[in-house]
Chains A and B, each alone.
Chain A
Amino acid sequence: MTAPAVQPRAFSRRSALFGGLCLCCMPNLGRAAESFAMEEVGPGIFIRKGLIADATAENADAIANIGFIIGKNGVLVTESGGSLADGAWLRAEILKRTQKPITHVVLSHVHPDHAFGAGAFVEDKPVFIGHAKLTEALAARGEFYRKRLIDLLGEERTGPVVYPTMTVADTAEVDLGDRRLTFTAHGPAHTTSDLSMIESGSGLLFPADLLFVNRIPSLDGSLKGWLKEAERLKSMGPHRAVPGHGSVAVDLAPALADLIGYLTALRDGTRAAIAKDVPIEKAVDSVARDQRDKWVLFDTYNGRNVTVAYQELEWE
Chain B
Amino acid sequence: MMLRIGQTLSSLALGLALATTALPPAAWAAGASDTDQERAARWQEIAKSIFGDRQIAPTDSLVKIDAPARALDAALVPITLTMPNDGQIKAVSLIIDDNPAPYAAKFEFGPAADPTELKLRVRVNNYTDMHAVVETQDGKLYEAKQFVKASGGCSAPMGMSDEEAMKGMGDMRMKFAETGAGKPVEATLMVRHPNFSGMQMNQVTRDFTPARYIDKLTVSAGDQTVFTLTGDISISSNPVINFAFKPDGKPIQVAASDNQGGHWQHSFTPPSPTN
Residues of chain A whose beta carbon lies under 8 Å from any beta carbon of chain B: 14, 17-18, 54-56, 61, 63, 82, 111-113, 135-145, 147-152, 161, 191-192, 218-221, 277, 279-281, 284, 300-301, 303-305, 307-308, 311, 314-315
Q: Is the CB of B72 within 8 A of A307?
A: yes
Please name the residue on chain A nearest to B24 by beta carbon.
A54
Q: Is the CB of B28 within 8 A of A281?
A: no
Bound together, the chains give a CA A143 to CA B119 distance in angstroms of 33
Q: Is the CB of B21 within 8 A of A111?
A: yes
How many chain B residues touch A (CB < 8 A): the figure is: 47
Bound together, the chains give a CA A279 to CA B118 distance in angstroms of 12
Bound together, the chains give a CA A255 to CA B266 distance in angstroms of 46
Q: Taking the nearest CB of chain A, how far is it from the CB of B46, in angstroms?
A: 25
Asked if B12 CB lies within 8 Å of chain A CBs, one says yes
Task: Choose among B20, B186, B203 the residue that contacts A140 (Cβ–Cβ < 8 A).
Answer: B203
Q: Taking the nearest CB of chain A, how far is it from the CB of B195, in angstroms?
A: 13
Q: Is the CB of B204 within 8 A of A139?
A: yes
What residues of chain A lie closer than 8 Å to B275, measured between beta carbons?
Answer: none
Asked if B159 CB lies within 8 Å of chain A CBs, one says yes
Q: Is the CB of A144 within 8 A of B202?
A: no
Q: Is the CB of A148 within 8 A of B16?
A: yes
Residues of chain B whose beta carbon lies under 8 Å from any beta carbon of chain A: 12-24, 26-28, 66, 68, 72-73, 76, 78, 80, 119, 121, 155-161, 173, 175, 177, 186, 188, 190, 192, 200-204, 238, 240, 242
Q: Is the CB of A14 within 8 A of B203?
A: no
What residues of chain B lie closer than 8 Å to A56, measured between beta carbons?
Answer: 24
What residues of chain A lie closer than 8 Å to B13, measured between beta carbons?
Answer: 144, 147-148, 150-151
Q: Taking the nearest CB of chain B, how far is it from the CB of A17, in angstroms?
A: 5
Bound together, the chains give a CA A303 to CA B188 distance in angstroms of 22
What residues of chain A lie closer than 8 Å to B238, measured between beta carbons?
Answer: 311, 315
Besides A143-B203, A161-B203, 5 more A-B contacts (Cβ < 8 Å) are A113-B22, A145-B16, A192-B160, A220-B159, A279-B80
Q: Is the CB of B19 within 8 A of A148?
A: no
Bound together, the chains give a CA A140 to CA B199 distance in angstroms of 12
Q: Is the CB of A307 within 8 A of B177?
A: no
What residues of chain A lie closer than 8 Å to B23, measured between beta carbons?
Answer: 54-55, 61, 112, 145, 148-149, 152
What residues of chain A lie closer than 8 Å to B80, measured between beta carbons?
Answer: 279, 281
Q: Is the CB of B20 within 8 A of A17?
A: no
For this complex, 24 residue pairs linking A to B, each with C-beta atoms less than 8 Å apart, are A14-B27, A54-B23, A55-B24, A61-B23, A111-B20, A111-B22, A113-B22, A138-B203, A139-B204, A141-B16, A141-B157, A145-B23, A148-B13, A192-B160, A219-B20, A277-B186, A279-B119, A280-B121, A301-B19, A304-B18, A305-B19, A307-B73, A307-B76, A315-B173
Q: Taking the nearest CB of chain B, how far is it from the CB of A118, in angstroms?
A: 15
Q: Is the CB of B72 within 8 A of A54?
A: no
What residues of chain A lie closer than 8 Å to B192, measured between beta carbons?
Answer: 315
Q: Taking the nearest CB of chain A, how far is it from the CB of B32, in angstroms?
A: 10
The 6 closest A-B pairs by CB, nearest first: A147-B13, A304-B19, A220-B20, A281-B78, A139-B204, A14-B28
What residues of chain B lie closer than 8 Å to A152, measured between beta carbons?
Answer: 23
